[in-house]
Structure 1
């Protein structure tokens, strides 16, 4: 029997990048996967097709997780069609890099509403179904920027630090319902931005600064998500684990 056989997983921001890697890994472990996206419809549909090729069910739902009404509509659709969520992965995020003095109220709200508020209200909406089912797993995708960061990440770092604190709080609040809540903090990971001709995002340059000699890949994160989602983590809750090749162990990582 597969690790996650019979489980329903909802992954936000699953059309591209780390979210796509997580969705594919959970499907490979036997889960049926709901692929949430906001604007990357073609990529979400491609991810769904790859999951179906594995013999698992896939459902794509467009929803902006910065809006509570859309979150609740998405979770209701999963409830109506598949009976509710067993595993929630809060992955959707935005990360604009701006100098601290240039951050506008609009930019701040976009980051906090998507990254932190979205995580809170997705967890709240899905926890109701998990309680009825007798338990569940919530995995929040944080970042090393929530613990040690670089210039021009003020709003993003604040949102990810908030996710770390929220993870511990939800673990406490939901422990009596047999819902485990954990977070993963990736470091530099090869996603679409590394394909740009941008020296700041050159994966080889960044990889040279990481103790393990390379940047991460989405499946490096996804494999840890699969563990947290499994019965192997039934007594693990309130934890934030870094998946960064050791970069956060260093005093300074040039950004």
Structure 2
């Protein structure tokens, strides 16, 4: 990597996002994370990371709101410089059957998980093209590929993530900007490990051929690779990392 590049990770304070952020610092990047404007713990998180040796910049951002993204990226770039790597990681779930799903929970998931890609990528893509170097890495889900009971909103949004990836990859490929999707399966984040052990052992693990949950570090390492010079020939790809649960 020539010089110290800047990576921006949305939803970088929680679960998978935190591991991606620290791995990117370990790989030599300046890292900026976004946090929800209502998260009053961001100061403590930054202080805790610094105590662990991770100097990470945090900016408030509602990824579902275009104007908020414009402001957040402008703040990030004024503090650390132009964004070279964008990791669209922020996401939410509002699970229920389609019969019970209301418009509010449909919109919330689509805006946070899919509209956010437009809102964030629009802020940085032109700069990457102008500099002839960039990496856009979109975090989707195994359920965007295979569907999931009670997740019509989430599965639709995550399937849309890869459609966005493929189309944008075609537009920017000649400018040395790659756009890729990572689709994790069940990863051992706090959210997943909070699932009752009986449910994990009877309904989830039996469907994962390798017989265990994925590790956040495994996904984060893939992000670091896709952001590297060595991955310059990979674009428009959807890389599954799910222990064999769903093979494309």
TM-score, with normalisation over the residues of structure 1?
A: 0.89
Helix, strand or coil: the match of 1:241?
A: strand
* Map of 2:186 onto structure 1: 188
Pick aligned residue for 2:145 from 147, 156, 163: 147
| Number of matched pairs | 247
Does the CA contact (< 8 Å) of 1:5 and 1:29 recur in 2?
Answer: no
What does residue 107 of structure 1 align with? 105
Contact kept? 1:16, 1:40, Cα under 8 Å: no
* RMSD (CA atoms): 2.2
- Paired with 2:47 and 2:154, the residues of 1 have a C-alpha distance of 29
> Equivalents in 1 of 2:230, 2:171: separation in Å?
21
Cα shift at 1:203: 6.5
CA deviation profile, 1:144-202 (whole Å, cap 9, x unmatched): 11110221010000000000111001101111322100010000111222343635763
Long gaps (5+) in structure 2: none
Compared CA separation, residues 24 and 205, structure 1 to 2 (3 A): farther
- Work out whether 1:72 is the aligned partner of 2:55: no
Contact 1:139 1:181 in 2 (8 A): yes
Q: Identify unmatched segments of 5+ residues in structure 1.
A: 251-255
1:122-201 equivalence runs, <5 A: 122-196=120-194, 198=196
Distance in 2 between residues matched to 1:107 and 1:241, nearest whole Å: 28
TM-score, normalising length: structure 2: 0.92
Moved over 4 A (4+): none
Structure 2 CA distance for aligned equivalents of residues 9 and 44 of structure 1: 20
Describe the SS at the equivalent of 1:139. Answer: strand
Q: Which residue of structure 2 aligns with residue 20 of structure 1?
A: 18
1:253 alignment partner in structure 2:
none
Q: By how many angstroms is 1:207 displaced?
A: 2.4
